[in-house]
Amino acid sequence: MNHPYRWVIVAAGALLGCAAVGAMFSLPVFLRPMSQDTGWSVTGISTAMTIGFLAMAGASMVWGNLSDRFGPRPVVLTGSIVLTSSLALASRAQSLVEFQLLFGLLVGGATAAVFAPMMACVTGWFETQRALAVSLVSAGMGMAPMTMAPLAAWLVTIHDWRGAMLIIAGIAAALMIPAALLVRRPPALDHAEAGAMTEGPQEGMTVRQAVRSPQFITLMLANFFCCATHSGPIFHTVSYAVTCGIPMIAAVSIYSVEGLAGMFGRIGFGVAGDRFGAQRVLVIGLLAQAFGVLAYAFVGELAGFYAVAVVVGFIYAGTMPLYAVIIRENFPLRMMGTIIGGTAMAGSLGMSIGPLFGGMIYDHFASYVPMYAASWALGLAAMLVLMTFRPFAGRQRDMAPA
């Protein structure tokens, strides 16, 4: 099945991801204006993002399971409406607790309605070029720091934070709701239900068997350690650069360089995954990521930070979509949303610990170097865990020629 509409699904997924992730990750842009206007503490406002990560973790598997049962379109559409409505309500919040619940719990939980269902949907539409397809969807999510974040930064210079956040909510709604309506269920699922064909690997497996399998647990652990590896460096590298004497504006640009490199990494790893196998490429990527984040500990000048940012951004962004490809090659198509949602849940939990533990390490040692060493160890753990992954016996690789 190589229907031309599959590329419409990819485009819709990329747009949905960019708008959803961009809306959620606009919070750092609003951080200081919000604190100055409301008197809420920076820590209290930042806690909304931590709640958001935890909400994403808790909701990922739920949304994924719902997309398996009812199809991706109603799930993604519901998530888009909840996300944009919650963001608009958060812009009117009158207390910190109200903001934390609206932005953290609802916006974070609704953001999870995009990732797992869309990744599952895309893997079902592609028999060939699957790794490239999911990487392009992920690349759309990676566009958020280069599109929505600068837009939010510009809006907050001409409006107060409430008006700027409300405009972001309106733009996100205008992009996400039409894109969600373009999403269609993979034709292979309809054929399988009609009895016209088998649905691929492990077709007799139940969801209960799948989530208890060593293969699922291994992928969850690998994704947890993988995300824990880069979450601390992503969050704290700007602060580390400032402690090295680099001006704040220049330090912030390190994050932009990392994000730009990630765009190329997603495509590069996608092409490599199609050619050499997703698991093999992912293992190599996790090893490279471990040493990449460690390299930050040995730089102190802006040029060095840029060089490491290019490498780290290329690798960590490129590795992430490959988990969905491995899942598609090993689990039934009818439960893609649930299984991808489970690994996304583990990844969100990994992302949530990096900022916290990175801050604790710096407070204790007055240095970020131990954080990068810890991230290196977590990266090696991710690689070693994934090396233990063994495909199901008799797995159908589902790699028919185009």
pLDDT above 70 for 126: yes
Residues 117 and 233 in one domain: no
pLDDT above 90 for 145: no
**Nearest by Cα to 93 from 23, 145, 166, 21:** 166
Sequence-ordered list of residues with C-beta below 8 angstroms from that of 160, at least 6 positions apart, any chain: 33, 37
Write down the pLDDT at residue 2.
63
* Contact between residue 114 and residue 17 where contact means Cβ atoms under 8 Å apart: yes
pLDDT in tens, 49-104: 888 888 988 898 899 889 988 989 999 999 999 999 999 999 999 999 999 999 98
Angle CA(169)–CA(313)–CA(51) in degrees, nearest 5? 40
* Contact between residue 237 and residue 95 where contact means Cβ atoms under 8 Å apart: no
Residue appearing with tokens 């690997």: 201
Sequence-ordered list of residues with C-beta below 8 angstroms from that of 89, at least 6 positions apart, any chain: 102, 106
Any domain includes 184: yes
pLDDT above 80 for 3: no
Residue-range definition of the domain harbouring residue 366: 199-389
pLDDT above 60 for 193: no
How many structural domains are present in the chain?
A: 2
Residues 154 and 28 in one domain: yes
Write down the pLDDT at residue 180.
95
Mean pLDDT across the stretch 183-210?
A: 69
Residues 242 and 304 in one domain: yes
- Residue 106's pLDDT band (cuts 50, 70, 90): very high
- Residue 24's pLDDT band (cuts 50, 70, 90): confident
Any domain includes 222: yes
- Residue 176's pLDDT band (cuts 50, 70, 90): very high
